[in-house]
Structure 1
Amino acid sequence: MIKKLVVGLAAVAIVVLVAAWAAAPVLSAQALIRAAKAGDADRIEQLVDFPALRQSLKDELNAELAAQMRRDPRMAESGLGGLGLILAPMLLSGAVDAAVTPEVVAQMVTTAEAPDPTVRDQPEPGDAADEGDDIHQAWGYRDLNAFAVTLTDRDHPDQRLALILERRGLFSWKLAAVDIQNDARP
């Protein structure tokens, strides 16, 4: 009888552990969204791996900029287009490093838009919080160590911003990357 009780308790403990492990990214994502809507910069600091996020944004924005330059016939025909492709990543890198702050993360979360590093005005925390009601959220694992919250503004359904949370330990998750998806591109 005691053996069955021990086996039963062990099974319950395993189920609880697996459920907590699977729910951890959802709880972290919800905490990030709440902190963004509240404009809680300190909490956002705890929930974001800023060096990894900045690198991800640089990669995404560089790819988008290069694609735009290749699509522009004037840039493709001009010798300056190649120079622009060489210089753009350096310029964009410094701008992203300076621009990605907890306030900008809050704006990304509440507007479903990647930051524009060329704009220097910092958003007011209360400004973006009112826009969050028009944002559709889709949640799901990308793999065992990556969880995505895909945000879509209902007014622009062809543009999505996926916030990628990565595992940091057994139960801890942090925003570490973004995936900018734009179906409107030709």
Structure 2
Amino acid sequence: MTLQKRIWDLIVLAIFVFAAAFVSAPWFAFRALKSAAQYEDVQAIGELVDFPAVRRGLTAQLVVDAPAAKPENPSIWRDPLGVFKKAVEPIAPPEPRVDRYLTVSGFNALTRGYAPNVAPAEPSSSDAIKQALKGPHPTIAYWDPNRVRIAVKRPEARGKLTVFTFERRALFTWKLVHIRLPANERQG
């Protein structure tokens, strides 16, 4: 074999390796997020997730529909007790529903296919192997060079999907930018 033929073979091999690495990079980003959540690696989760974008997306999904017409504020002339009651009632905002999704345990549950605070405990090492073989396994729902969606099915209800959207930030760097919850968990 000539030197020119060997160099050409190396160039073709390098192109195939580059293409395979480029195509599989989002899958490795999802696996890294799942592993970081499982082992409670906060720094790795911070590097893999664009928190402002994910928070905006989840907030839009979890907003409770506003009533069609807000009741009129009480008037001191018509309802003096109502005014007093409104003045002394606490002004504390409702608990943000998004926060439970953006915790380490929330990411751990979501990447396994469960809702936060509903996921069962991590299986033991022997059960983990059986569960990994049984599935459900994450699948690529959409792929393009700059955006990938990975769908995770619920183990107890295969029709419910949680979809993770990753966006390319550099040649091989992908960040989680959106989480779409199953339809029955969304309010808005």
TM-score bracket for this pair, using the shorter chain length: 0.5 to 0.7
TM-score by structure 1 length? 0.66
Percentage of pairs with the same residue: 25
1:39 aligns with 40
Question: How far off is 1:149 after superposition?
Answer: 2.4
Question: How far off is 1:139 after superposition?
Answer: 1.9
2:175 aligns with 174
Tell me the SS of whatever aligns to 1:109.
Answer: helix
The residue type equivalent to 1:33 in the other structure is: K
Q: Distance in 1 between matches of 2:163 and 2:9?
A: 40
1:119 aligns with none
2:87 aligns with none
Question: How far off is 1:15 after superposition?
Answer: 0.8
Q: CA deviation digits over 1:143-171, x for unaligned, max 9?
A: 22222221222222332211112212111
Question: How far off is 1:105 after superposition?
Answer: 2.1
TM-score by structure 2 length? 0.65
**Structure-2 change in CA distance of 1:41 and 1:170 (3 Å):** same
Q: In the alignment, is the contact (CA less than 8 A) between 2:51 and 2:177 conserved in 1?
A: yes
Tell me the SS of whatever aligns to 1:95.
Answer: coil
1:79 aligns with 69
Tell me the SS of whatever aligns to 1:148.
Answer: strand
Tell me the SS of whatever aligns to 2:55.
Answer: helix
The residue type equivalent to 2:162 in the other structure is: L
Q: Which segments of 5 or more consecutive residues in structure 1 lack a partner in the other structure?
A: 70-74, 82-90, 116-122
Tell me the SS of whatever aligns to 1:137.
Answer: coil
2:131 corresponds to 1:138: no
Name the Cα RMSD after superposition: 3.4
Q: CA deviation digits over 1:80-99, x for unaligned, max 9?
A: 49xxxxxxxxx78x825755
Q: CA deviation digits over 1:37-96, x for unaligned, max 9?
A: 22322222222111111112122223xx44xx7xxxxx6xx6349xxxxxxxxx78x825
1:51 aligns with 52
Q: Which has the larger radius of gyration?
A: 2
**Structure-2 change in CA distance of 1:172 and 1:56 (3 Å):** same
**Structure-2 change in CA distance of 1:59 and 1:128 (3 Å):** farther
More strand by share: 1
Question: How far off is 1:136 after superposition?
Answer: 2.1
2:114 aligns with 112
